[in-house]
Structure 1
Amino acid sequence: MATYVTSDAHGHLRALDRALSLAAPGPADTLFVLGDMVDRGPDPVGVIQLVRGIPGVRVLMGNHERMMLDALLHDSDIDLGTWALNGGYATAPGLDRLPREEFSDIIDWIANLPLYDVVEAGGRAFILAHAGIDALAARGYLATAGVDCSEGRGASSASREQLMDMMAQQDPQDLLWIRDRFWAEPTGLVGKDGSGPVVIAGHTPSTALGFYAQAGEGVGVSEDGRGMVTPLGACDATGGVADRVDIDCAAAGGHEMGRVGILRLDDGATWYADVLEGE
């Protein structure tokens, strides 16, 4: 049994389908989809339908699913306008074409998606969230639970239950929207010995990481100018282990820079499918 993660397909059904064919997760494997299935690309509803049909899939909510729900469930011009400005124009027509029963089923399913999860793979714990975490708040909560991350200890002693409790205390807005504070600073959860939980997130296109992570030009960009699965934070303080991984491969950017990436947590293997022109 292996564990795979992808995120931010943003309506690019064909690229997601090709990436899944390359990674080929089996029926006994688990695939995590960290949100932003909808908006921007040509077939957001198709992405939802494909994802829901994958055996062993576990889906988290992204900020675009949250915006969609706010627009559809609240009688607010502001929410509708916000969704439209962020790509909802690509999702709404597909939803309108659905039979009422299927529309209701999809909306109910999305409304009940969790914001986070913690999984163990390849001998390590991974914290999963759409956008990232407030690392300072995370360390503070763990300290109250008896897990002292200071002085390079990291959080390797934290149980999955403790990490899940810590995530339950995070601000939902951070889990859906955080950028600068997450990508620019170490989490402090991976210790000097290289052990401890690694955070896997999407939301921020890897092609923009140079700005948000203050890491310089070229970070998160492949040789042909496309997004890529990007580990960050490896240094002496983490025993050379990246404490954060961005898996948003910029599909929202379309065919010029975007692709869908899939990461296997067990061994770090990656697969990509470019977003092609017209899809």
Structure 2
Amino acid sequence: MQKIYVLSDIHGQSRAFFEMLEKIQFSSEDKLYIIGDVVDRGPDGIKLLEYIRGQKNMVLLMGNHEDMMLRTMNDEESWYETWLFNGGGVTLASLMSFPKEEQERCIEFVKNLPLYRMISVEGKQYLLVHAGIDVSRGESEEQIAAMDRDTLLWIRREFFNAKLSCPYTVIFGHTPTGALLYYAKDLPEESREQAAAFHITRWDRRIAIDCGCAYGENLGCLRLNDQKEFYIKI
């Protein structure tokens, strides 16, 4: 049986990523969805992008850090300082060390990353998206497709504190789960305990999987077939 995994926000931590692949015994028969933010802050973002690009059974979604990288490389000057402030310097230096053709292939790969994916596993439907959705603008796939990229890549409070009525579960990264204690006002007690430990956090049709890899906490991975959680400590 094919095993379906999701993880997010690797942020250049290649050691943790490859240790996770070993831990879950990831094989060519399995599939891994990575919900954005492979680059920045850690040292190996470009190396990871290049690796993921070569894997037929890995699907990378756009994260806000990949988007900042793209906007900067497209000479949108207003984004340069924002990207560097958010840990983009190490990614930029790494990218510039590659031959021009390889740089262009990497940028083209990132440019074509999807903003979201709707998938079904074991009869359950999931929306995979980096940050979340604007529930006030609707929850159907058609309405999600019409949402602007900044919403899907950056939203926090408005998504965390809205009531969901969708038939799917939203799996997202972007916000380290420990920060949910600050942003999400009505987390149930069990969810608060998960968040405080920087573990995968579940509540009200939501699963948060950014476990603070960028901040020395955990890289988390969820197997959707049986909901088993895996962690690598940074």
Normalising by structure 1, report the TM-score: 0.78
Matched, 1:221 2:222: no
Letter in 2 for 1:74: D
In 2, are the aligned partners of 1:68 and 1:83 still within 8 Å (CA)? yes
Instruction: Tell me, in whole angstroms, the C-alpha distance in 1 between the residues paired with 2:63 and 2:225.
Output: 24
Question: What corresponds to 1:259 in structure 2?
Answer: 218
Question: What corresponds to 1:210 in structure 2?
Answer: 181
Instruction: Tell me, in whole angstroms, the C-alpha distance in 2 between the residues paired with 1:5 and 1:15.
Output: 15
Alignment of 1:74-223 (within 5 A): 74-76=75-77, 78-139=78-139, 142=140, 163=141, 165-189=142-166, 196-214=167-185, 215=187, 218-222=193-197
Instruction: Indicate the percent of aligned positions where both proteins have the same amino acid.
Output: 37
Instruction: Tell me, in whole angstroms, the C-alpha distance in 1 between the residues paired with 2:116 and 2:210.
Output: 16
Question: What corresponds to 1:193 in structure 2?
Answer: none
For residue 117 of structure 2, give the secondary structure of its aligned residue in structure 1: strand
Unaligned runs of 5+ in 1: 143-162, 190-195, 234-242
In 1, are the aligned partners of 2:53 and 2:109 still within 8 Å (CA)? no
Q: Larger Cα Rg: Structure 1 or Structure 2?
A: 1
Instruction: Tell me, in whole angstroms, the C-alpha distance in 1 between the residues paired with 2:89 and 2:15.
Output: 19
Shift in Å, 1:52: 2.2
In 2, are the aligned partners of 1:136 and 1:187 still within 8 Å (CA)? no
Unaligned runs of 5+ in 2: none
**Aligned residues between the structures:** 229
Question: What corresponds to 1:16 in structure 2?
Answer: 17
Shift in Å, 1:75: 4.7
In 2, are the aligned partners of 1:126 and 1:200 still within 8 Å (CA)? yes
Instruction: Tell me, in whole angstroms, the C-alpha distance in 2 between the residues paired with 1:29 and 1:136.
Output: 35
RMSD: 1.5
In 2, are the aligned partners of 1:209 and 1:219 still within 8 Å (CA)? no
In 2, are the aligned partners of 1:9 and 1:37 still within 8 Å (CA)? yes
Shift in Å, 1:136: 2.6
Alignment of 1:230-245 (within 5 A): 230-233=201-204, 243-245=205-207
Structure 1 ranges of 4+ moved more than 3 A: 216-219
